[in-house]
Amino acid sequence: MTKDSKPTLAARRAFLAKLGGAATGAAVGAAALGILPAASARTEAPSAGASFPTKDYDWTKHQWGFGVDANKCIGCLRCVEACKKENDVPGNAHQFRTWVERYVYLEGEDHVRIDSHQDPVNIAASGSEKEYRFANRYKDAKVDKGFFVPKLCNQCTHPACVQVCPVGATYRTKDGVVLVDPTYCIGCRYCVQACPYGARLFNEEKGVADKCTWCYHRITKGLQPACVEVCPVGARVFGDQKDKESPISLFIRNNRVQVLRPESGNAPNVFYVGIDKEVN
Amino acid sequence: MPKHIFRLLALIAAGLVVAAIAKPLLTDSSFYRYGHYRADSVPEIAAQEPVYQTPSYCQSCHTERHAQWSASNHKTVVCEVCHGAAKGHPQNGKLPIPKDTAKLCTLCHEAMPERPRTQPQIQVAKHAGGQQCNVCHNPHAPKIAAAATKVTGNEAAGKERAAAACAGCHGADGISPNDTWPSLAGQNAAYLVRILAAYKSGDQTDAAMTPLAQALSDGDIQDLAAYYAGLSCKATSGGKVVGDADRGKLLAKNCASCHGETGIGSNPAWPILAGQKPGYLANVLKAFKAGLRKDPMMASVSRGLSENDIADLAAYYAAQSCQSTKQGKAKP
């Protein structure tokens, strides 16, 4: 074992990055003198003291985190509704930045039944694709166990979606949110494919990739993400991990939390409580 | 150097020069500032206007509603969950008041086997008989006032206490001689306990009742309630009727789910209205409307009543018999 006990995948990735960087530098550096130095000079941070990205908000002072307590979720889907309105997500059942999955184990069955608001039965129960509701489809069934799991972008520390973007249209901010620059996005959808959580969508109205931003325009103004704001049961928790008394710090400290698909190497930042082995 | 090789190298060199000149021109000036992306896109995204405004935004104008809501069990359900996002309100007009509460409320409260047990849930088919939720529940304070308070009083002891303290106004046998004071005979004991306790604690105030109730012990209140509940009420109230009872009957349909069709409800925590003094009924409704009597449910249903509506309702309930339907009406 290495002394810093990094996961082997991350260690291998770091090693390959260094190797690749050295090789490229050696090969290209000599040939294209003047290009790379100019580029690297511009990666320097601007003068200290200037607050970025807004004058009241400095992204180096925050590290956002998100918690989901599936024990509390009642599947009312108000978060899905609020997210759609807050972020102008296309008003249909199949494009969404956040969603809720229902897991139901029926007596005598050896598999779990999973559905979300886009299931035809649930669309029929809500009356339209612009309203969101879980049909009470298991009310007469013998339910062994059932629960709801809210899902959203994990804002990974090593996001696969950012790695595959060919034009630098998606990136991870210093305060820990993965954003899409809609003016640079060419709509190739590599990122939609790359995300192991299916968290990205292609916004056909705008022709660009779209994703949950933890409501970056709200959190930089001191508000909570819209889904957290409207959750009536406190199943969604949000806060600054740099503040040891913030809701998310307390949530992580006071619960045994887990993340989805840790083996993917993306290092997700949405922490779950109360989920089952079937949830990933 | 052979000519064709020189040409090839010259072409490559020319290409590199063009690339070196074109790249900075075509790349946004903020592109490499923090990494391989356009730094200016971060403030652009951060500059979007929030759509959901939070309850403190609503509070500045809707102070009273906010106070009622924030003290209720629904305090975790923010305004915009039911009324929609507040961006552009009030400049661009009103926010909707949900009409189909049976659909809205069941989003959270329909009984589902996969919902956590701690969530209050109803069997939709059995709970309300197809009625809208806000017929009985005030959405801003949904909990219905204490169901059946326990009554353990002694009637004989209550009779003694009543003769000394209450009979002067409410009549020797609980039938008020005056149009503005309520008759108590035959009233629900649980309601009497609740209301006397409210006078005693100061939750409800009245120039005459407050000092009298403060002199009562909890045991006295129980005894009085048991005594008055056991008395026989007269068939008619005999008060001075000013309203139109027929019109009141139509209005009373809105009250029926709690107070019963003829003013005798199913929940003993709520008062029997049938055969009550019309002057008293009208005064109480006006007091609820003005906020002098505090009850979240009555406050919201009395808000829309005019003076005439109140007189008509009072006339209707005063004309009902407090006894005739009492036996058959009792619900399990």
SS (H, E, C) B142-202: CCCCCCCCCCCCCHHHHHHHHHHHCHHHHCCCCCCCCCCCCCCCCCCHHHHHHHHHHHHHC
Residue B309 lies in a domain: yes
B282 and B320 in a single domain? The answer is: yes
pLDDT attached to residue B1: 83
Residue type, B170: H
| Averaged pLDDT for residues B9-24 | 96
B33 CB neighbours in chain A (<8 A) are 42-43, 45-46
Fold of A62-280: Alpha-Beta Plaits (3.30.70)
pLDDT digits (tens, 9 = 90+) for A155-213: 999 999 999 999 999 999 999 999 999 999 999 999 999 999 999 999 999 999 999 99
- Model-level pTM greater than 0.95? no
A179 with B20: Cβ contact below 8 A: no
- Residue B214 belongs to what H/E stretch? helix B209-214
B198 and B257 in a single domain? The answer is: no
pLDDT digits (tens, 9 = 90+) for B250-277: 999 888 878 888 888 877 778 999 989 8
> Would you place residue B331 in the very low, low, confident or very high pLDDT band (cuts 50, 70, 90)?
very low
DSSP code at position A65 = E
pLDDT attached to residue B85: 95
A226 with B24: Cβ contact below 8 A: no
Low-confidence ranges of chain A (pLDDT < 70): 1-7, 27-49
Helix locations, A175-268, DSSP H: 190-194, 216-219, 226-230, 247-254
Chain mean pLDDT for chain B: 87
pLDDT attached to residue A36: 47
Residue A8 exposed, middle or buried by CB count within 10 Å (0-12, 13-18, 19+):
exposed
- Residue A145 belongs to what H/E stretch? strand A143-151
| Averaged pLDDT for residues B274-290 | 91
B34 CB neighbours in chain A (<8 A) are 43, 45, 174
Q: From its phi and psi, is residue A41 left (phi > 0), alpha (psi between -120 and 50) or beta? A: alpha
Question: How far, in Å, CA of B103 to CA of B259, rounded?
Answer: 24
B322 and B264 in a single domain? The answer is: yes
Phi, psi of B168 (to 5 degrees): -55, -40
pLDDT digits (tens, 9 = 90+) for B64-105: 899 999 999 999 999 999 999 999 999 999 999 999 999 999
Residue of A nearest to B78 (CA): A230
Residue type, B326: K
Domain ranges of chain A: 8-41, 62-280
B319 and B276 in a single domain? The answer is: yes
Looking up residue B173, the CATH number of its domain turns out to be 1.10.760.10
> Is residue B248's pLDDT more than 80?
yes
> Is residue B237's pLDDT more than 90?
no
pLDDT attached to residue B330: 40
Each residue of B242-275: b (16+ CB within 10 Å) or e? ebbbebbbebbeebebbbbbbbbbebbbbbbbbb
Residue B253 lies in a domain: yes
Choosing among B37, B100, B119, which should be mutated to test the A contact, i.e. which has the most A CBs within 10 A? B37
Question: A4 vs chain B: nearest CA distance in angstroms?
Answer: 26
Q: Residue A136: which of B34, B81, B112 has the nearest Cβ?
A: B112
| List of residues 6+ apart from A21 with CB closer than 8 A | none
Domain total in chain B: 2
- Residue B298 belongs to what H/E stretch? helix B296-302
> Is residue B326's pLDDT more than 80?
no
pLDDT digits (tens, 9 = 90+) for B149-192: 667 888 888 888 888 889 888 888 888 888 888 999 889 888 89
Phi, psi of A100 (to 5 degrees): -125, 130
Q: Which structural domain range is residue B259 located in?
A: 245-329
Q: Which of B182, B203, B230 is the last residue of a domain?
A: B230
